[in-house]
């Protein structure tokens, strides 16, 4: 009982200690929080558009796991002649980055991009330094162009006047080059996903290199083989693998052939220099049969260069190249592409 007053005297000291701790707690908590790892908020997917399905497929491979690029021209659309719909205009307007082959393929797109002020966010892959080009006269002849595009700001009118064949995506070396460019452009506008873009591009290049090795082995016995095609849009693929395109039923403009052209092609078909007629899927097959008539040459269907018949997505580009390799192999009497 004598010690009770002393115990009561100690309570205020403990009370004061507890109060001091409570007052200091916010500062202690804040200091500890500075050492805790900060969880980053996931970045919004980058809004990206591509003009045709093969370009969209290359972009989709690089963006895999981060987002999906939008396709401007749907399957079956002729990229040479298009009237843009309001939905397509909105797609271009909303995109932060636009990949296109170039004005050599889609000159009608220039006006829309200019009206939208989208020049700074558009990448013309045909003008990328290092792109392998073939130059012709509007019929996309097989004469090699300069090996390097001059620079990304090359005058498009000059390129068209020189007759640059725009179907450059059909050379797998260009596809590999463009994968790296696509990753670079995406990373510059979306640094949060830069690592994923570059890693995806490296993996995509490795897959493409393996595919090219298989196609080269398959088509090597056919080097020098001559063919007639329904549409002169396959020069990049044929030239890369050493196959000669001796004639085309339709020129690069898509104009139907006249009687004189058909007669010339029929003489060529019967010359013994041609292995087959390659008819593009979706084009008038009767013209190919007319050219082949009486020659005994087989008519073999080729995939559309813009891959209009294939499902869109990251696997489309490889499927397009494989389809072309299979068609040329059948033309030469070989089986499909070896696994």
Tell whether the model's pLDDT for residue 146 goes beyond 50. no
- CATH fold group of domain 48-215: Rossmann fold (3.40.50)
pLDDT, position 199: 98
Higher pLDDT, 258 or 5: 258
**pLDDT value at position 129?**
98
Between 108 and 11, the more confident residue is: 108
Check whether 40 has a pLDDT greater than 90. no
How far apart CA 80 and CA 309 sit, in angstroms, is 17
Distance CA 70, CA 88 (A): 10
**Mean pLDDT score, 62-70:** 97
pLDDT band for position 38 (cuts 50, 70, 90)? very low
Q: DSSP letter at 152?
A: T
**What tokens were used for 331?**
């033309």
Whether 37 shows a pLDDT value over 50: the answer reads no
One of 3.40.50.12780, 3.40.50.1980, 3.40.1110.10, 3.30.70.141 is the CATH number of 221-331, namely: 3.40.50.1980
Tens-place pLDDT, residues 150-184 = 333 333 333 443 589 999 999 999 999 999 999 99
What integer pLDDT is reported at residue 76 of this predicted model?
64
> Taking residues 71-96, what's their average pLDDT?
87
Asked if domains 48-215 and 221-331 share a fold, the reply is: yes
Helix (H) or strand (E) holding 20: helix 4-33
Q: Domain boundaries in the chain?
A: 48-215, 221-331
Give mean pLDDT, residues 297-316.
94
- Strand ranges (DSSP E) for 51-169? 70-71, 97-100, 122-124
At 335, the pLDDT band (50, 70, 90 cuts) reads: low
Question: How confident is the model at residue 23, as a pLDDT?
Answer: 52
Q: What average pLDDT does the segment 237-245 reach? A: 98
pLDDT bucket at 47, cuts 50 / 70 / 90: very high
Residue 282 has pLDDT above 70, yes or no: yes
HSE of 1, CA atoms in CB hemisphere, 13 A: 0
Over residues 293-307, mean pLDDT? 94
- 183 vs 28, higher pLDDT: 183
Is residue 142 scored above 70 in pLDDT? no
Q: Of residues 133 and 137, which shows the higher confidence score?
A: 133
The rounded Cα 185 to chain-centroid distance in angstroms is 13
| pLDDT for position 331 | 96
pLDDT computed for residue 285 by the predictor: 87
Tell me the average pLDDT across 121-131. Answer: 98
């Amino acid at each position: 009982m004598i010690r009770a007053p002393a115990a009561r005297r100690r309570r205020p000291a403990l009370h004061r200690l507890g109060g001091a701790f409570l007052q200091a707690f916010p500062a202690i908590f804040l200091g500890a929080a500075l050492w805790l790892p900060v969880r980053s908020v996931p970045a919004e997917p980058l809004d990206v558009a591509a003009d045709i399905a093969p370009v969209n497929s290359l972009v989709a491979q690089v963006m895999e796991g981060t987002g999906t690029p939008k396709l401007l021209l749907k399957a079956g659309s002729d990229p040479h002649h298009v009237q843009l719909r309001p939905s397509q205009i909105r797609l271009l307007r909303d995109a932060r980055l636009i990949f296109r082959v170039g004005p050599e393929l889609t000159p009608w797109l220039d006006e829309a991009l200019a009206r939208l002020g989208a020049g700074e966010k558009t990448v013309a892959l045909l003008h990328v330094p290092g792109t392998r080009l073939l130059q012709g006269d509007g019929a996309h002849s097989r004469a090699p162009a300069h090996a390097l595009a001059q620079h990304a700001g090359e005058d498009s009118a000059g390129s068209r006047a020189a007759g640059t064949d725009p179907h450059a995506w059909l050379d797998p070396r260009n596809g590999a080059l463009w994968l790296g460019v696509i990753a670079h452009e995406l990373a510059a506008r979306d640094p949060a996903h830069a690592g994923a873009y570059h890693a995806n591009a490296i993996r995509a290049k490795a897959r493409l290199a393996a595919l090219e090795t298989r196609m080269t082995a398959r088509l090597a016995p056919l080097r020098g083989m001559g063919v007639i095609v329904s549409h002169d849009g396959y020069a990049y693929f044929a030239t890369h693998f050493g196959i000669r395109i001796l004639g085309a039923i339709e020129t690069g403009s898509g104009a139907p052939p006249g009687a004189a052209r058909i007669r010339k092609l029929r003489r060529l078909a019967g010359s013994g220099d041609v292995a087959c007629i390659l008819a593009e899927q979706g084009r008038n097959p009767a013209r190919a049969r007319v050219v082949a008539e009486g020659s005994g040459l087989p008519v073999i269907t080729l995939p559309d260069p813009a891959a209009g018949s294939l499902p869109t997505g990251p696997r489309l580009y490889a499927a397009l190249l494989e389809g072309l390799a299979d068609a040329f192999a059948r033309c030469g009497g070989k089986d499909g592409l070896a696994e």
